[in-house]
Chains A and B, each alone.
Chain A
């Protein structure tokens, strides 16, 4: 193993994906980690730790290392990455020091926030690091040739941030971010349930509600489901009944803001590229693009065809495969290598 290893990391607020050259995606689980408070040992990570959210006793701390798309807990982020890389066979620290690593981040993050990500890799003993924007990687991972002089609009609605960007000739022309996405919708849902039914629900439940009932179709089939929470008045556990129409009334304001953002980006797009976008449409990636009816919803308001990519959850990590080949250089087309 004398060759340099390539490592691609999509450090998302909701999910962590790690791509390792020659092995493919080696980790695709929620970015949550659980520590034992006393000894500091890792109790669980990924899926297992995610299930523990809101359900632990005082001896375990469940931490989400990322908030709104950026690292908020360095120690936890490092522990999570170490845990993931530790699971890979035949990967020693020596190999890591010879690794080229690409970390994907939301579009509008500050220099400091980017430095924190490089710092994280340095702490893992990875010296050769570069940061790329998620939308670029996402478009590549979805199999779009971004190296032509053709404008592409990508909308990535993830867990912590929504990124909107225009790509042309292998790089980003302009991009914008709002820190409203999946987890913001979860919060809105739990606020809504609290306000209308006086029932408190947990993080996991509100996420499940969004996945099961989120529907943006105009005349969506009405689905009713029961969820458990705690009655705020009486204090006892209680079922709440929620319908698709209620949930869509909660999440549409969030999508309206996303649409505002898309319009803002389109307004600033050079006219030549606008024409391309009008022809080829908008690409949707990220976990929230799995919400039913999102294509029609945006299409109706922006008047441009919208398409959800075939792999919205993994495209960013898959895109790192190409980025590792050209190190983000727009002149080198990795698709032809």
Chain B
């Protein structure tokens, strides 16, 4: 048998054409086998991009920022590396957030960012992906939705599905949304704050406002500019927010009880020289409270439009806060006072959506709580 095989190969080597054909068919078989295996979940958030691969966990969790070489159009870097470049590049590189404000500004860039990250996590063989679930912000238009499904198809993934982030976030935070009971989720992310009422495994009503993390940063920049006459960058503003932010209750303090302060470095508006300014917790709270006024009114309109039976359920089930914004100290008390219902914080605010994505990939039925 063995000798026979060898003899065969020998003749095949001679007939080079046949041999290469054999190789091709082997390759094909291999990809066919992989194709049945992988499902991928993508959280296409404004500020962060998360990718989950079935069986391998969340492989990518980095800012959804892409840096492109202007001249060639090549991707320079994506994610953390690109985030570091924000405000620090020379003019040969362009740093873009393709999902600015929760809308798709450039579908081609999203394709690039997806291809680049999939390559980064060693999934360059797109044929091996059998199913892709993309989570998107609530108030995305139908055309944009179609564009994303189209994008999936152009990547060669026929089974591309789209779900609302708010639903995934609720699932990922461990809410049983499949019972006939109303739940409310507020997902305060980077670009948008989404409000959703869920029941029977589907979104009953959702609203979105383009005021979230990025907006807070911009307001902080404006504040420092007007009050301290100092121009600071996005990254500094974000750090200020993370250190000093609070909405109600005692101001954030260190272990000894001293109120926290932050030394912000930037450029003096008048002299143009680098300078530092010390920021306190109180001024940042005032900035944030102003930002939260519109959030407050959207929350109230959402509750107003909720069907009464579901609104009644909220008294019991409460409101779930998730997303980066839910980490602001005092936000829980702030919302609870407003809505007069219990408010809970998600245990996994930053990964709730992708966790929910994971759960949805495993599910076959879509919105029934009891299949007949």
Contacts and interface: CB of A to CB of B under 8 A. Distances in A.
Interface of A: 36, 41-45, 48, 51-60, 83, 200-205, 227-230, 234-239
30 contacts: A43-B370, A52-B180, A54-B309, A55-B180, A55-B200, A55-B307, A55-B313, A56-B200, A57-B202, A201-B308, A201-B309, A202-B309, A202-B310, A202-B312, A203-B309, A205-B308, A205-B309, A227-B312, A228-B315, A230-B306, A230-B312, A235-B301, A236-B300, A236-B338, A237-B312, A237-B314, A237-B339, A237-B340, A238-B315, A238-B340
Nearest to B300: A235
Contacts, number: 103
Interface string B282-317: 000000000000000000110110111111111110
B contacts with A: majority SS: mixed
Contacts of A60: 200, 202, 367
Nearest to B312: A228
Give the most central of A41, A42, A51, A54: most B CB within 10 Å. A54
A229 B308 contact: yes
Interface size range on B against A:
20 to 34
Given A44-B372, A45-B372, A236-B303, A228 B311 contact: yes
Contacts of A204: 309
Contacts of B203: 57
B309 A236 contact: no
Contacts of B308: 54, 200-202, 205, 229-230
Given A59-B367, A230-B304, A235-B301, 12 more contacts: A43-B372, A48-B370, A55-B181, A55-B200, A57-B198, A200-B308, A201-B312, A228-B312, A230-B311, A235-B304, A236-B300, A237-B340
Interface of B: 180-182, 198-200, 202-205, 300-301, 303-304, 306-316, 338-341, 367-370, 372
A230 B372 contact: no
Contacts of A45: 372
A26 B105 CA distance: 58
A328 B340 CA distance: 59
A56 B338 CA distance: 25
A202 B313 CA distance: 10
Nearest to A43: B368
A203 B202 CA distance: 21
A44 B368 CA distance: 9
Give the most central of B204, B313, B367, B372: most A CB within 10 Å. B372
